[in-house]
Amino acid sequence: MSDSGELAAVLRVWRERLTPHLAGLPTNTTRRTKGLRREELAVLAGVSVDYIVRLEQGRASAPSAQVCAALARVLQLNDTEQEHLFRLAGHATGSGHVSQLVPASIRRLVERTGERPVAVFDAMWNLLLWNPLWAALAGDPLQLREADRNLVWLHFTSTSDCHMYGPGSTEALDASLVADLRRTTGRYPADPQPRQLAARLNETSPQFRELWQRHEIAEHGPTIKRVVHSDVGILELDCDILTTQRHNLRIVLYTAEPGSESDSRLALLATIGAQYVRDATRS
């Protein structure tokens, strides 16, 4: 169970201590609050203003782990504060459950890697953190429902105009992701979330259901991916996956061979990503 009173109080304190400048927002307007407005926190975290109000008044149900991760990112919480937030929201943070805590050092890595698409996922491929170039490449995650911000779910169900393929057959990439998810269900037997995701995909995707029934277990690793993007065309990208030791997070980074056509197209996407950030801060 969550401690809604303590959660409400600490969220207000964390919001009020974060200046718009530190949050990357314009500061040339008259403000009655010394920190972020509720509306600004809601936009940056991808939730409704009404939900932030209810959280700060202790009237909302406990935020999900993904909402907690988004709030921790926007509020720039340190590692100890993140753990406190997750516990207050009723989410276990022990080794028996998939962790969605993103250490401050990993947040800094993503924020300072602006020339390459980079994102952070948990062990079951829930998207937790990304940079603007990732949004320009794969689509703005804030436009998705929270429950749909999962790489495996999007791979098998998305109608996005950005399509990614492995170096071999499409089936090989499909099988790799499914085998990785089954591996995660075995690594976290006390956590129902990976099995719930698998059940949801079984109901939605015949291709996933067929591969899940094979009971293959493997780790989805680095590869070369072909990305078909509606704005810039085809990109051949190296996909590297780094795993953190403490929380078993997946850091996914796309790069292109220097001087290649794909490298030039990534540079164009970087411009699109910068425009995305400007539009988001003005909205």
Residue type, 47: V
Phi/psi for 129 (5° steps) reads -155, 145
pLDDT value of residue 282:
45
Instruction: Indicate the SS3 state at residue 127.
Output: strand
Specify the DSSP class assigned to residue 99: -
* Residue with token string 């936009």: 43
pLDDT value of residue 1:
42
Mean pLDDT, 10 residues at a time, the chain of 283 residues: 75 91 76 83 91 91 86 90 88 77 87 88 94 88 88 85 64 90 91 94 96 92 83 89 88 93 91 58 43
Decide if 262 contacts 129 (C-beta within 8 A).
Answer: no
pLDDT value of residue 273:
63
pLDDT value of residue 278:
47
Structural tokens at position 43: 């936009």
pLDDT value of residue 280:
46
Instruction: Indicate the SS3 state at residue 279.
Output: helix
- Concatenate the DSSP letters of all residues of 209-276 into one string: HHHHTTT-------EEEEEEETTTEEEEEEEEEEE-TTT--EEEEEE--TTSHHHHHHHHHHHHHHHH
Domain 104-282 fold is Beta-Lactamase (3.30.450)
Chain Cα centroid distance, residue 113: 15
At a CB cut-off of 8 Å and minimum separation 6, what does 247 contact?
99, 101, 102, 103, 122
Hey, which CATH number is domain 4-88, 1.10.10.60, 1.10.10.10, 1.10.260.40, 3.40.50.2000? Answer: 1.10.260.40
Domain ranges, ordered by start, for the chain: 4-88, 104-282
Sheet architecture: strand order including 127-130:
127-130, 118-121, 250-255, 233-243, 223-229, 163-165
pTM for the whole structure: 0.78
